[in-house]
Structure 1
Amino acid sequence: MIADQKVVSLNYTVKDAEGEIIDSSENAKPLVYLHGQHNIIPGLETALVGKAPGDEFDVTVEPENGYGEYNADILQVVPRDAFKGVEEIEKGMVFSAESPNGPVQLRVANIEGDDITVDPNHPLAGKTLTFSGSVVDVRQATEEELAHGHVHGEGGHQH
């Protein structure tokens, strides 16, 4: 059964509130993660506790238990010359930048002349998501996986 410190394999489909598919493991390998280590969003992790291989799930996750609420206050306007080495900047492009809390993904939200508005919100922030699928496998994590906080080997992180 799914519990903390177990390695879980899931087949899943994620849809937004309009029913559009955002992501799916269909035609791909199952998602493999270490339960209880915040490797998936909290709302889904909580809903999966106690499920066993073969069990199906259909879970709706509100933004506060998913990728958070959308925060317009964190958008920033930066000068075009901050994008050194980038010839063409287009709305929707994603860049990595260093922040005081580590690396962050920034999406170009708007371009007005040399003023570029970047958005550090997660692309799914503010969205209600529905996850459906089935539990493929549950196993005990290895000592190494527990020490590293993530899965190793097939379907997991490789060192």
Structure 2
Amino acid sequence: MWNYGSTAVVRYVGTLSDGSVFDSTEGLDPLEFQLGSGSVIHGFDNAVRNMEIGECSTITIPCKDAFGEYSAERVEHGPMYAIPNAKDIEVGKLFYFVTEEGLKFPARVTSIDEGMATIDFNHPLAGEDLTFEIELLDVRG
């Protein structure tokens, strides 16, 4: 088991339960991240911590351990004028809602009707079980 704080270097393909790819390092540089830093989801971090250099592993992370269950309570309705840059927002397209404190939250406008918007603050992968094919290339530190 690798120590927290070490830097892991991996290649991976992430798929949903229907087999569609939602993220991948294919054609890109490998992903480098610090183990235990919270920069990747917990289940991914744990899997890599238990791998050997050169090992390939396939793991499935249930939604509750990835981006959480989908929650209807995270869907809000409000006037378009209350949304910064509302003129640039398209139904179905992801945008980042920025709080007065500068925190960013991903959101998606799911409908606009007579100046009122329905905004979904669930992570786009909420409610999805995630499968990763991971190859550990190196660990430093």
Q: Same fold (TM over 0.5)?
A: yes
For 1:95, the equivalent position in structure 2 comes to 96
Shift of 1:99: 6.8
CA deviations on 1:75-128 (whole Å, 9 max, x unpaired) are: 111201123544353211223221779321221112122110111111001100
The equivalent of 1:36 in structure 2 is 36
**Structure 1 residues 44, 79: closer, same or farther in 2, change over 3 A?**
same
Measured at CA, do residues 85 and 15 of structure 1 come closer, stay the same or move farther in structure 2, by a change above 3 Å? closer
- How far apart are 1:135 and its partner, in Å? 0.5
* Matched residue, 2:119: 118
Aligned partners of 1:59 and 1:130 also within 8 Å: yes
Q: Report the counterpart of residue 146 of structure 1 in structure 2.
A: none
Structure-1-length-normalised TM-score: 0.80
Does residue 22 (structure 1) correspond to residue 50 (structure 2)? The answer is no
Structure 2 counterpart of 1:49: 49
Q: Which runs of 5+ in 1 are unaligned?
A: 141-159
Q: Work out the number of aligned pairs and report it.
A: 140
User: What's the C-alpha RMSD, in Å, of the aligned pairs?
Assistant: 1.9
The equivalent residue for 2:70 is 70
Partner of 1:143: none
The amino acid that maps onto 1:56 is C
Match of 1:127 in 2: 128
1:132–1:123 CA distance, 2 compared to 1 (3 A): same
Cα distance in 1 between the residues matched to 2:136 and 2:24 = 14
Q: Please report how far the alpha carbon of residue 63 of structure 1 lies from its aligned counterpart in structure 2 after TM superposition.
A: 0.7
State whether residues 52 and 138 of structure 1, in contact with CA within 8 Å, keep that contact through their aligned partners in structure 2.
no
Corresponding residue of 1:154: none
Partners of 1:72 and 1:22 lie apart in 2 by 23
With normalisation by structure 2, the TM-score equals 0.90
Query: More deviation in 95-104 or 17-26?
Result: 95-104
Indicate if the aligned counterparts of 2:33 and 2:39 stay in contact, CA closer than 8 A: yes
- Superposed structure 1 runs of 4+ greater than 6 Å apart: none
Once residues 100 and 72 of structure 1 are traced to their aligned partners in structure 2, the CA distance between those partners, rounded to angstroms, is 25
The runs of 5 or more residues in structure 2 that have no matched partner are: none
Given the superposition, is the C-alpha separation of residues 67 and 99 from structure 1 closer, same or farther in structure 2, using an over 3 Å criterion?
farther
